Amino acid sequence: MKVPSPAVTSNTPRALRLPKAAAVPGSKLKLPEPKASRDATLRLALERRRSVRDYSAEPITVQQVSQMLWAAQGITAPSGLRTAPSAGAVFPVKLYLVASRVDGIPPGFYSYDVEERSLTMLQEGDKQELLSKVCMDQQCVADSACALLLTAWYGRVRREFGGAAEKLVLLEAGHIGQNWHLQAAALGLGSISIGKWDTTAMKMLLPMPRDEEPVYLLLAGRP
């Protein structure tokens, strides 16, 4: 079942209009540089961090998405080390953005390139309603402006750490998730973690490599 994209008419409020440029699968979108902000301290972000399930229809911006992606797993050292720790610096957790209402990013499913800070469209179209069904009809998934899907590539980490691989991957995903939530709070956005879904349906809906497994879904939007 294909979910139609929202119609844009002359009566549609400016804040709710979708980007005019339509991306196609395979196209790349360079994200803006993350900006240092003095609006919120770490302590304030920690105090503000709450699980938010209710989102408005107002879109968020590409700058905010870029900021949250960098916070989640941005590179912070010439050696390639990132904002979230990874056992042996293997970095087996991959990031995918499901964009729905983001000014500057056409609706679709994207892979995130950490080094280039860019998005590559893998599939076009708004996925939030179908993604909600995959997540056991959780309405917050359908209402969110975007979602960050974390997948685990277990191949190398199993070779490095054997039976500890799954635990280490899940710990890394947790670090990434907390970074996402703290940055969302600092930006005045709402966010929540989702861990309940049908894995088979998720892999059918969103094109990802066969050797990757979805482990965490992070939502964001305007509360």
Mean of all residue pLDDT scores within the chain: 90
Is residue 91 scored above 70 in pLDDT? Answer: yes
Cα distances from 61 to residues 86, 104, 145, 196, 222, in angstroms, run: 29, 7, 10, 27, 10
Residue where the block lists tokens 């965490």: 216
Q: Which residues of the chain form beta strands (DSSP E)?
A: 28-30, 60-61, 93-99, 102-103, 108-113, 118-124, 146-153, 190-194, 212-221
Integer CA distances (angstroms), 162 to 90, 92, 157, in order: 13, 14, 7
pTM of the predicted model, to two decimals? 0.88
pLDDT in tens, 134-182: 999 999 999 999 999 999 999 889 999 999 999 999 999 999 999 999 9
13 has a pLDDT exceeding 50: no
Give the span between the Cα atoms of 192 and 50, in whole angstroms.
8
- Residue 1 exposed, middle or buried by CB count within 10 Å (0-12, 13-18, 19+): exposed
How high is the pLDDT of residue 182? 97
Domains annotated for the chain, with CATH where assigned, are 42-221 (3.40.109.10)
The model's pLDDT over 53-78, given as tens digits with 9 standing for 90+, comes to 999 999 999 999 999 999 999 999 99
